[in-house]
Amino acid sequence: MAYSYALLFAILALASSQAFAGDPSPLQDLCVADNKAKVFVNGVVCKDPKKVKAEDFFFSGLHKPGNTANPLGSKVTPVNVTVLPGLNTLGISVARIDFAPNGLNPPHTHPRATEILTVLEGTLYVGFVTSNSNDGNKLFTKVLNKGDVFVFPVGLVHFQFNIGHSNAVAIAALSSQNPGVVTIANAVFGSKPPISDYVLAKAFQVDKKVINYLQSQFWMDNYN
């Protein structure tokens, strides 16, 4: 008896200590997102499986270059659960990223996804920074050419910059149906309402004037 209780506790302890770094696993074959549902759940409500069609698992358009005529010179076209409802509960999505010469996908994080990037055209200088540690924040960078693949671990700040003389194109696969994006500059200097300039001046160890200048800029994102 005592032995079986000990075993039960061991199993319970193990089960409750399990951590899931990615999206939770599906509990059924198909849970096509009903993007019109008014109920809020973790993910999106499933549409009636009898009404599911092949189109729910299909998206067309990633052959089209994104418009990079903006101050960053880059454009992300996400294919997430909003535009591909069949992704719901599957823990995966994809995006096309276009870069003009000198185009930058600025430092950002995906709070819910690891990203694996494949360069289709051009030359990108890419990198990510590790979280705080005793050695500080370590930067890992690489120059990528056509056919090269690079992985950006979940949650870490990363960027991609076109250092070639022509346009560049990459495909990013992400380990979430809804990876989320936090663009560092926008989140810090462009929040609404703004973060107190006193707080930011102290955090960045600069004069409040520098913060006010940064806060008065237009912080665009490159994926809408």
Ligand X SMILES: *[C@@H]1O[C@H](CO)[C@@H](O)[C@H](O)[C@H]1NC(C)=O
In the complex, the residues that contact ligand X under the rule CB under 6 A are 77-78, 80, 82-83, 178, 181, 223-224
Q: Which is nearer to ligand X, 44 or 144 (CB)?
A: 44
CA distances in angstroms from 140 to 49, 129, 169, listed in the order given: 45, 6, 21
Q: Residues comprising the binding site for Mn(2+)?
A: 108, 110, 115, 158
- Annotated binding residues for oxalate, written as ranges, equal 105, 110, 115
**Comparison of 73 and 78: residue with beta carbon closer to ligand X:** 78
Please give the structure tokens belonging to residue 135: 């050695």
What are the structure tokens assigned to 192, written together?
């609404």
- In the beta sheet, which residues pair with residue 99? 74, 168
Annotated binding site: 105, 108, 110, 115, 158
Half-sphere exposure of 126 (CA within 13 A, CB side): 26
**Closer residue to ligand X (CB): 139 or 184:** 184
Residue 224 C-beta: closest distance to ligand X, Å: 5
**DSSP letter assigned to residue 62:** T
- Residue whose CB is less far from ligand X, 57 or 140: 57
CB of 45 to ligand X, least distance (A): 17
Please give the radius of gyration of the chain, using alpha carbons only, rounded to the nearest integer.
21
Measured between alpha carbons, how far is 100 from 122 in angstroms, rounded to an integer?
10
| Min separation Cβ 17 and ligand X, Å | 31
Nearest to 104 by CA among 56, 52, 161: 161
Q: Measured from the CB of residue 218, what is the shortest distance to ligand X in angstroms?
A: 18
